[in-house]
Amino acid sequence: MVPGVLKERDTVNITCVVKNGRPAPKVHIKVSGTEVPSAVQKDYVNYSTSLNTNVVTMTTFERSWNRENITCCRYNEWYKVRRACSQPKQVNFLYPPSDITLEVKIDEGLQMYALCSVLDSNPACVANFSAQNGIIASERYNESVRQPLGAWNSKYAVNLNVRKDDNGKKIECSADCPNFTVVLKSTVSITVPQKAEQRFNNQDTTGFGGNSFIWIIISSCLTVVLTGVFIACLVAIKKMKTAKAKWGANQVRHSASGGGTRFVY
């Protein structure tokens, strides 16, 4: 008798029963072809028929046996068929995570993010983040990666919105598993790198940087206006010089003709 699903910490009772053997056979339980030494055999004799009933019980189950083939085999050299085994069965063994890790990282674009890993569980667990309001900006990604022996590693990442004054503040990650009540969490302090501080300083001046295009337009307009005024002034000066020259020439011609008024000093 092999249950389809087992949960770690629950009572395990996997039994193998062989009836009506004479003499009593050796009975054992195998996991993927290897005998389980912890299994216990008990023999019961029907004295009226001299036939035996043999029961082997396994009361422990290891994580490494998850989804492995379990068989019940009997052996006796006096039998016509000396060795025979049952059809293999599999158990989906559920267990909580063994560890949880939390890291605060920074990517090439100087974006800080937190990565929480919930390790070695079946089924995969969820990671829940908690931090001071405003520090967690958005979800970055999540994935569950299948591991050997049917385990899962779950990775959850969130983008962080931090400033220089958030240095030293804490962020926490806890495991949330559908089949178990787990008290498994990790807490780290945020350390703002110097490069990130420079990025934040640059962000603090975005009010000016965001208007730089407008200032460029204004400067260009002022340049055009001043250039126009300068050209207009040059034209006006030239005209004044031309008019003055004409007036002087007229005075010379008038004096030469003897007309006009004389001034005696």
Per-residue exposure over 79-100, b if at least 16 CB sit within 10 Å of its own CB, e if not: eeeeeeeeeeeebebbbbbeeb
CATH superfamily assigned to domain 5-94: Immunoglobulins (2.60.40.10)
pLDDT digits (tens, 9 = 90+) for 80-108: 899 999 999 999 999 999 999 999 999 98
Cα separations (Å) of 217 from 211, 213, 214, 222? 10, 6, 5, 9
pLDDT digits (tens, 9 = 90+) for 168-179: 999 999 999 988
pLDDT digits (tens, 9 = 90+) for 210-265: 455 555 556 665 665 566 666 766 666 777 766 666 655 555 454 544 444 333 32
Cα separations (Å) of 20 from 27, 47, 53, 78, 85? 13, 12, 6, 14, 16
Q: Check pLDDT > 80 for residue 19.
A: yes
Residue 265: its pLDDT value, please? 29
Cα separations (Å) of 47 from 20, 44, 53, 70? 12, 9, 11, 32
**What is the distance between the alpha carbons of residues 172 and 114, in angstroms, rounded to a whole number?**
10
Residue 57: its pLDDT value, please? 94
pLDDT digits (tens, 9 = 90+) for 127-184: 999 999 899 999 999 999 999 878 999 999 999 999 888 899 999 999 999 889 999 9
**Strands 40-46 and 34-35, bridge-based pairing:** unpaired
Residue 17: its pLDDT value, please? 94
Residue 207: its pLDDT value, please? 44
- Assess contact for 30 and 17: CB atoms under 8 A: no
**What is the distance between the alpha carbons of residues 83 and 75, in angstroms, rounded to a whole number?**
5
Residue 102: its pLDDT value, please? 97
pLDDT digits (tens, 9 = 90+) for 51-72: 999 999 999 999 989 989 999 9
Residue 9: its pLDDT value, please? 86
Sort residue 160 into left (φ over 0), alpha (ψ -120 to 50) or beta: beta
Residue 58: its pLDDT value, please? 93
Residue 109: its pLDDT value, please? 86
What sign does the CA torsion over 19, 82, 62, 5 have?
A: negative
Residue 65: its pLDDT value, please? 92
Residue 245: its pLDDT value, please? 62
Residue range 99-192, CATH number: 2.60.40.10
Domain boundaries, the chain: 5-94, 99-192
Confidence of residue 39 (pLDDT cuts 50, 70, 90): very high
Same fold, 5-94 and 99-192: yes
Q: Which of 136, 143, 173 is nearest to 158 (CA)?
A: 136
* DSSP state for residue 184 in the 8-state scheme: -
Query: What six digits make up the tokens of 233?
Result: 């002034």
